[in-house]
Amino acid sequence: MAIASKFDMGSARCAVVIVLFAILLVFPRLCRAHETLKVGVIIPLSGALAHMGESVRNGFTLWKERNPSSDLEFLFEDDQFQPRHSASAAQKLISVNKVAALVTFTSGPGMAVAPIAEKNRVIHFCFTVDSRLAEGRYNFVHLFQSRDAAARLLKKIEAEGIKRIGIMRFIEDAAQLSASEVIKQAPDYGVEVLFDQAFPGGTTDFRSLITSASAKKAEMVVIIALPPELELLAKQMKELHFAARLTSIEIFSLSTQPRLFEGLWYAQPAFPDQEYAAAYKKRFGSDFAWGHYADNIASLLQAANESEHGARLLVEGLESLSGIKSTVGPLSADPEGVFAVPVVIAVMKEGKPVLFED
């Protein structure tokens, strides 16, 4: 009996040890699942691109409303599309608000924030076509990539029988990268690039550039610029009866005066699914713009937070993501840290981008 009791006691102790060990394994995961993940979103909420920044803010707001039990909390900062303000906002969000992740809008602000994020080991997502923004362990990119956009645009140009094109762009890293990709790939599609004209931000008089471009006799010109230069350039082209057809890489959909580009086709990131577009329209009374990209980033961060790596190892979680459901189809990280969006051809119709039917 004493021996039996001894074994019973030993079994009980063993069972207790096993239960305690299981608790030690599971409890941290249960706690981790309820950790709040603060995300600092640095976007232009004033100035010429405020309408785009608002669409990003709306996208994160809608995502939170549709996922009320999520652990993500979004904090918004207005950088006025000025990299120096982006950098100071990032410092504040990291040191004061203790964010675990940052989001920036396009390459200029992204370049200012990337080294800050890397130094502080804070996740940084940038909406940009420039994969260089994914350099470093903690930097990631979400948008279409310039090489893919150039290829899709040139394929359409070739199909239209156009042989001679030009480029007019503002001086900015992503714009230069997109132009370089068009120039690099053009011969593969039997297309000759006659000129690549660059102008600084703040330019208001484009007449000499337009006159010079007209003399080159291009059949089509690829415009890569942002408001307000984009609209000024388009208006002055019309005033001077510029003959070449116009196209672009995404830019027309970013215009504050989209009817200036009515009927023009261009390369565009894939549109969100109809369910998301309808939900955004119902909630905000406007079209999605870049709202669905915000929704995608929120979904990626939530998936990483819920992974086995959790909030404390968020970067490992992001690196391991594959086939995550998003508004543009499944998303996966490539080896460079890019969550790429497919590219389509769109056309401006009644002031809105719609899918172009070839």
| pLDDT tens, position by position, 276-290 | 999 999 999 999 999
Q: Looking up tokens 């950088």, which residue turns up?
A: 79
Q: What is the pLDDT of residue 160?
A: 97
Q: What is the pLDDT of residue 30?
A: 44
Domain membership of residue 248 (yes or no) is yes
- Are 136 and 151 part of one and the same domain? no
Q: Looking up tokens 């993501």, which residue turns up?
A: 321
Domain membership of residue 241 (yes or no) is yes
- Are 97 and 246 part of one and the same domain? no
- Are 14 and 163 part of one and the same domain? no
- Are 19 and 45 part of one and the same domain? no
Residues 6+ apart with CB under 8 A from 330: 323, 324
- Are 108 and 122 part of one and the same domain? yes
- Are 233 and 172 part of one and the same domain? yes
Q: What is the pLDDT of residue 317?
A: 87
Structural domain boundaries, residue 25: 1-34
**Is the link from the previous residue into 228 a cis peptide, with omega within 30 of 0?**
yes
Domain membership of residue 284 (yes or no) is yes
| Total count of domains within the chain | 3
Domain membership of residue 203 (yes or no) is yes
Q: What is the pLDDT of residue 291?
A: 96
Domain membership of residue 355 (yes or no) is no
Distance CA 153, CA 343 (A): 9
Q: Give the CATH number for residue 230.
A: 3.40.50.2300
- Are 113 and 168 part of one and the same domain? no
Which stretches in the chain have pLDDT values below 50? 1-3, 5-7, 16-17, 19-20, 22-33
Domain membership of residue 2 (yes or no) is yes
Domain-ending residue, one of 243, 269, 295? 269
